[in-house]
Amino acid sequence: MPTPPDPAVLYPDIATCGSLAAALRAEAEGRLDAVPVPSSDIAPLLHASVASTLPHREPLRISAWEHERQWSIRGEEPFQGLPLVDGETKDLAEVAKAARAWHDGVALEDIRGAAPFVHLTGRFEVTDNDPVRLTESEWQGMRQEAADLEYVWQESYQALIEAAYAEPALRALYPFTSHWALRFSATTRPSLTLCGPCLTAGSDGTYGVGRGFITPDLGLFATPHEAVALAIRHLPPDLGPVALGR
């Protein structure tokens, strides 16, 4: 990868302001005057953050791209460190609008209304860290992620996610992925407890079920429903309600 240009060359207007935080304030036209907007000590032209008035939101992270003039945002929930919103834009004024809405505790859908570049990950806010609600939130995030994919096997992968979600026995477990393999946990993040088999969607349209990671040693099937049915039969018999991973 080529060496990135000096940020002051790619962002001369930000350099004139002295930091990304100062540039955000200027673009906000007063809307961020009373809001703490720290910049990174190491790379003040490239990184800044905006805290939220809501305790269940981490500060919104704002980053400038190093090789292209563009900004990205990421807003996480604190317990698992997973994004509720993200997005990319070339318009810093739009970033300022999103930052103000995040700070003010505006509903996630309304943040996107204020700044249309904002992407909702599908996860919703769980203020009390209820493990059942966190599990449902993660399923919704996984379904949204599958719908947003642009890979060749996107349709197969999405079909697998939807087939698994349709089954109560699997929907009650916390889902996670590794290399696009669907796996299940008896606890939420940040400390997962692996349980049940591994499900995969192949680029050839087949669906695998395996005891270990990716290897479909339990079988290959033509439909996701067949794979899901076998996975259910291989779930541990003594599974209880999903618990918080600590």
**pLDDT value of position 152:** 67
The residues facing 161 across adjacent strands are: none
Q: Are 195 and 136 in a shared domain?
A: yes
Q: Domain for residue 143, yes or no?
A: yes
Contact 69, 84 (CB under 8 A): no
What's the half-sphere exposure (Cβ side, CA atoms, 13 Å) at 53? 9
**pLDDT value of position 97:** 97
**pLDDT value of position 139:** 98
Q: Are 64 and 108 in a shared domain?
A: yes
- Domains in the chain: how many in total? 2
The residues facing 39 across adjacent strands are: 48
Q: Which of 215, 210, 212, 204 minimizes the C-alpha distance to 230?
A: 210
The predicted model scores a pTM of 0.93
- Which range of residues forms the domain containing residue 74? 7-120
Q: Are 159 and 216 in a shared domain?
A: yes
Q: Domain for residue 173, yes or no?
A: yes
Q: Which of 177, 173, 175 minimizes the C-alpha distance to 213?
A: 177
Q: Domain for residue 156, yes or no?
A: yes
| Ordered per-residue pLDDT tens for the chain, 246 residues | 678 889 999 999 999 999 999 999 999 989 898 899 999 999 999 999 999 999 999 999 999 999 999 999 999 999 999 999 999 999 999 999 999 999 999 999 999 999 999 999 999 999 999 999 999 999 999 999 999 988 767 899 999 999 999 999 999 999 999 877 999 999 999 999 999 999 999 888 899 999 987 788 899 999 999 999 999 999 999 898 999 998
Of 120, 152, 182, the last residue of a domain is: 120
Q: Domain for residue 168, yes or no?
A: yes
